[in-house]
Amino acid sequence: MNDRIRAPRIRVVDGNTDQQIGIMTPQEAIQIARSRGLDVVEVAPEAKPPVCKIISYGKWKYEQSKHQKDKGKQKGGKVKEMKFRINISPHDYTTKMMHAEEFLDESNKLRVVCQFRGREMAHPEIGMRLMNRVIEDLKTMAHVDMIPKQAGRAISMTLSPIAQHLRHRKFEKPKVAYVEDVGDEDDDDDEDDRTPHVHTLSMDEILSHMEEDDGRPKRRH
């Protein structure tokens, strides 16, 4: 900046308009900058000749900081985890989808986990159907980073948000904050979901009512 610039000649750009002023010595650029109450800031030292802007140093630092924050947002925020059981009810599935869209719209990645307990382990295909259904329902918000894979008693996958201008929500925005079940995936088989808002279907109901095309439970006639 200013007197610290060592190159004999520099390309000078107006920091307000981004228009080139010309190629000159650093001393000439400093004279122009000081006449405007500004600084000469080297922005591309590797260029030939180096590129410098006539701009307020404080303003330049602020723009650099803002650029780094915006860049970080584009890369994504945190990785959120959402757990499913294969006997999740339609109501609870919809609620989770609302929150999944909310997470993705905040530029977070989403790790989706389908957990098995007891004799559910005999039917991993139901878990895969559920994961594919999640992918389909969130395709207007995310793309698949890591395809569904089974490891032990769980199937997991990772989704990343698509570009913001392409996002479109299918589910209503949630009215309350999402609180994740933090139980260990190796919980005992005889443990049940005891939270009062969770509605589940029995394994027999799932197997007897599962549609072959998309894994959604059918209504009993």
Which domain CATH number covers 181? 3.30.110.10
Domain boundary among 74, 99, 126: 74
Sheet bearing 20-24, strands edge to edge? 20-24, 10-14, 51-55, 39-44
Same domain, 117 and 160: yes
Same domain, 112 and 173: yes
Write the secondary structure of 103-149 as one string of H (helix), E (strand) and C (coil).
HHHCCCEEEEEEECCHHHHHCHHHHHHHHHHHHHHCCCCEEEEEEEE
Domains in the chain: how many in total?
A: 2
Same domain, 81 and 63: no
Asked if residue 220 belongs to a domain, the reply is no
Residues across the chain: 221
Same domain, 98 and 21: no
3-state helix, strand, coil in the chain (%, to 5): 35, 25, 40
Same domain, 7 and 95: no
Asked if residue 159 belongs to a domain, the reply is yes
Same domain, 96 and 201: yes
Handedness of CA 212, 215, 216, 221 (dihedral sign): positive
Residue 34: which domain range? Answer: 2-74
Asked if residue 215 belongs to a domain, the reply is no
Answer whether 69's CB lies under 8 Å from 196's CB. Answer: no
Domain boundary among 74, 94, 120: 74
Domain boundary among 55, 74, 93: 74
Asked if residue 221 belongs to a domain, the reply is no
Model pTM score: 0.49
Same domain, 47 and 64: yes
Same domain, 124 and 144: yes
Asked if residue 14 belongs to a domain, the reply is yes
Q: Which two tokens stand for residue 217?
A: 């439970």
Same domain, 42 and 113: no
Same domain, 93 and 133: yes
Same domain, 159 and 67: no
Asked if residue 219 belongs to a domain, the reply is no
Asked if residue 92 belongs to a domain, the reply is yes
Q: Which CATH number do you get for residue 37?
A: 3.10.20.80
Same domain, 35 and 56: yes
Asked if residue 91 belongs to a domain, the reply is yes
Exposed / middle / buried, residue 221 (Cβ in 10 Å: 0-12, 13-18, 19+): exposed
Instruction: For the chain, 221 residues long, give each residue's pLDDT as a single digit of tens.
Output: 777 888 899 999 998 888 889 999 999 999 999 999 999 999 888 888 899 999 988 888 888 887 776 665 555 568 999 999 999 999 999 999 999 999 999 989 999 999 999 888 888 999 999 999 999 999 999 999 999 999 989 999 999 999 988 999 988 765 555 445 433 334 444 344 433 333 444 555 555 555 444 444 444 44
